[in-house]
Each structure stands twice: as C-alpha cells, then as structure tokens.
Amino acid sequence: MSRGINGFQPGRLAQVLAARKLSQVQLASMVGVSAATISKWKSGQQAPEADALERLASVVNVSPEWFTRHVSAQPSTPLFRSNASAHKAAREMLEARLEWVQDVAMGLVEFLDFPEVALPRRDFTDPNEIDQGEIERAAIECREMWRIGRGPVPDLALAVEGAGVILIREETGVAQIEGLSAWSQVLEKPLIYLSSDKDNGFRSRFDLAHELGHLILHKHIPRATDRVRHNQMEKQAHAFAGAFLLPAETFSSEIRTPITLDSLLLLKQRWGVSVAAIIMRLEALGIISEEEKQILFKRRSARWGVRSEPGDETRAPEKPRLLQRSIGLLLSSGVMTKESLGQYFGLSVSDIEALSGLPEGFFQSRGDVVELARLRPATPRAPNNHGGAKVVAFARTE
C-alpha cells in the first residue's frame, strides 16, 4: 500500500460493502471521497488515512480498528435456493453476514467451548450418488445420534444447537432466500443462517431441516453452478427434511384413509410440519400416487390459497439460544461489560444483537440473558486448543 494506516485489510471493506448492500459509488459519497479511492482501498493499492478511516467506520457502523483485523478463511460456499442474477447482491450480503457470525463465534470460543459436532458423516462427492434410500438412512442415523426417537421433534433449533451447529435467525429483507448453510474451517463447525422475515414456525422448521440436509449430504460436493445439478441438490435437501421430520415408520402408522385436508391439518399440528410438506412426504413414501398428490395440492390451493394454511399462527418460530446465552455468560460472570463487548467484536451493538439472537435494545437495558455455559478455567493454553470446560449440554428429548 502506498500510504495510509498500517494493517488496513481490504477484505474487511469488501465484507462491509456486501453486508450493508452498498456500491462503491454509494460508499464514496457517504465517506466524502471518490469512487476511485474506494476502489483502491478495496484492491489494496492504497489504505485510508486516519481521518478517512474514522469517517468510513462511522458510516458503515463498525469500529475503525475492525478494518485492521485479519480476515479469516471464508466458510464453504452456501447453496442458495435461488440462483437468479437479480438476487446476487442479496446472496453476497448473506454470505458476508455469515462471515461475521463466524467472527463472533471465534471470539466466544476464546472463553468457552461449544457443543461437539454430532452429525452423520457422509462422503458423497457427486449428487448422483445419493438416492432416496441414502437420504432415509441419513435422516434416521441423525435422529439416533441425537437420541430423539422417531416421534415429533419438540424443538428442532434446540436439537440442532445441541449437535454443535451454530444457528442464526435474522430478519434479512430477502423474502426469496429462506436460509443457507456452510461449514467453517476455522471453527470446525457447521453454520446455519435462517431468515426470520416469514413468521411461520412450520416453514421455519422445514427450512432448518432442509439446511441440515445440505450439511450432511453435500458437505464434500462443490456447490452447483448449472440449474439441473442445483435443483437436484435442492430436492435432496427437501427429501432429507421430510425424512427427518416425518420418519417413515412412525409417521406412516398414523395415516388414515381416506386422506383429507382436515386429517392432514391434525397431522400438521402434531408433527410441526405444513400440510404441503406432508403431502410431499406421503408421495415420497408411496402412500399416495403422483396423481393423488396433485389432486390434494389443487384442493389445498382452492380452499386456502397457495402461501398460507390454517393454524400457521399457532406455532412460533423456534429461536436460537447458543450465541445469546454464551454472550450472557460472559456478561453475568463479569468477564466483559456491555460496553466492552462491542469493542471486543468491533461490530455495532445492533449487529451483535441481530446475529446472536439478543433482543433489540439489549445493550441499552440493564438485564442480562440467562446463563447456559461454564467459562473456561483461567489456565494458559495453546492457540486453537479447545480443551477445558465444556458448555452445558442441551437437554435432549426422547
């Protein structure tokens, strides 16, 4: 770099442009510099001087020092449900915020341990290796690892976090993208990011199970660029969600004929899965034919419309707990104060609240979140050595 502050990380500027959905021209106007100057900062040809860095940090709502922090390795590339070019900025925004979640989690593991990862291992390298039988086996193995039996899962978010997955649920403003998932190399843990824009607990549970399917089935498969392969992997994740939430043997035993929309509404409430997803699962299990499936969907649309179903309001979306309770432990134990926490992460308190599931305005209130974990013992340890005290295990349901 020809001039400016030492240690400026261009990757941080790229992150914040994506996370704030700003163009270089827009940011230049906000900071009071030329677009060419922003371009040079982003490419690493030049670094901002101290006063320009202060303005830059102020307009994007991070600390100036945050721009000097090393950028960690990016999580694996997520598979988005929509690859439309119109959603490119939205995908980049979500990927950048997923990197920020990784940063927050890395900061927390300096003080405490998260649950160990407990997911079935599958080494598929091509989606053509995955058939319905493989999907059914992976779903049952996952339930067995988590010891949750074959019945309805009371709280899938709790079960997922107890299995070592870092879960985020945030309002994104992007209705077309329900969620994404990735593996973090630096954390050696999977991440799931869900959109909270649609306040529907049934759909949110299915979205979570869908992303769980990607993490298990597609961990070693490069993300698809062509539409056919992309759709194939999406269908496999959908099939996993159905198999996991509605296990073949126990779910099938509860089906009564003739199948009606009213009988499916009862199953919806019991299993926590939408009527639409139940219909798809019935066809996958061979309980109904393709023709019967289409008839049920036509009746559903004629009776209720396409997007909503009766009873949608009866189940609130399940909320992540791990990050917010970990932050609460640091605060309640006196390791940090609310004032120092923002400085520690370098992000704005509003970003920390949103990414960790803390209530809006938490950093302006007096109360702290409930304690969940135990702190690490205050003994020296080598970098990245995750020994020490463990987070208190999440309760499992039988």
Average pLDDT over residues 36-53: 96
List where CATH 1.10.260.40 sits in the chain. Answer: 1-71
CA distance 393 to 398: 15
Question: Highest-confidence range of 71-75, 173-177, 273-277, by mean pLDDT?
Answer: 273-277
Tokens 């020490």 belong to residue = 388
Q: What is the reported pLDDT for 229?
A: 92
**In angstroms, how far is the first alpha carbon of the chain from the final one?**
59
To which H or E segment does residue 252 belong? helix 248-252
Q: What is the reported pLDDT for 388?
A: 39
Q: What's at 178, amino acid-wise?
A: E
Q: What is the reported pLDDT for 375?
A: 54
Q: Which DSSP category does 347 fall into?
A: B
Q: Do strands 189-195 and 166-170 pair parallel, antiparallel, or not at all (unpaired)?
A: parallel
CA 148 to chain centre: 22
pLDDT bucket at 393, cuts 50 / 70 / 90 = very low
Q: What is the reported pLDDT for 368?
A: 43
Q: What is the reported pLDDT for 51?
A: 95
> Tokens at residue 76, please?
């694996």
- Compare 175 and 229 and report the one with higher pLDDT: 229
CB atoms closer than 10 angstroms to residue 169: 22
**183 has which bridge partners?**
190
Do the beta carbons of residue 372 and residue 321 sit within 8 Å? yes
Q: Which residues contact 93 (CB under 8 A, 6 or more apart)?
A: 18, 19, 20, 21, 172, 174
- Compare 102 and 80 and report the one with higher pLDDT: 102
- Compare 197 and 362 and report the one with higher pLDDT: 362
pLDDT bucket at 64, cuts 50 / 70 / 90 = very high
Q: What is the reported pLDDT for 371?
A: 42
- Compare 148 and 393 and report the one with higher pLDDT: 148
CA distance 294 to 56: 55
Q: What is the pLDDT of residues 311-367, one digit of tens each?
A: 999 999 999 999 999 999 999 999 999 989 989 999 999 999 999 999 999 988 654
Q: What's at 31, amino acid-wise?
A: V
Residue 77: closest CA among 175, 221, 226? 221
**Proportion of the chain above pLDDT 90, given as a percent:** 77
Q: What is the pLDDT of residues 279-316, one digit of tens each?
A: 999 999 999 999 999 999 999 999 999 889 999 999 99
Check pLDDT > 80 for residue 254. Answer: yes
**116 Rama sector, left if φ>0, alpha if ψ -120 to 50, beta otherwise:** beta
Evaluate the omega torsion of the peptide bond into residue 258 and state whether it is cis, within 30 degrees of 0.
yes
The CATH number of the structural domain formed by 1-71 is 1.10.260.40
CB atoms closer than 10 angstroms to residue 392: 13
Q: What is the mean pLDDT of the chain?
A: 89
CA distance 16 to 10: 10
Check pLDDT > 70 for residue 226. Answer: yes
CA distance 265 to 273: 9
Q: Which residues contact 392 (CB under 8 A, 6 or more apart)?
A: 372, 373, 374
Distances (CA, A) of 247 to 15, 72, 129, 141, 146: 41, 39, 22, 11, 14
Q: What is the pLDDT of residues 127-154, one digit of tens each?
A: 999 999 999 999 999 999 999 999 999 9
Residue 114: closest CA among 395, 335, 373, 383? 373
Do the beta carbons of residue 168 and residue 193 sit within 8 Å? yes
Global confidence as pTM: 0.88
Q: What is the pLDDT of residues 98-124, one digit of tens each?
A: 999 999 999 999 999 999 999 999 999
Number of alpha carbons in the 13 Å side-chain half-sphere of residue 45: 6
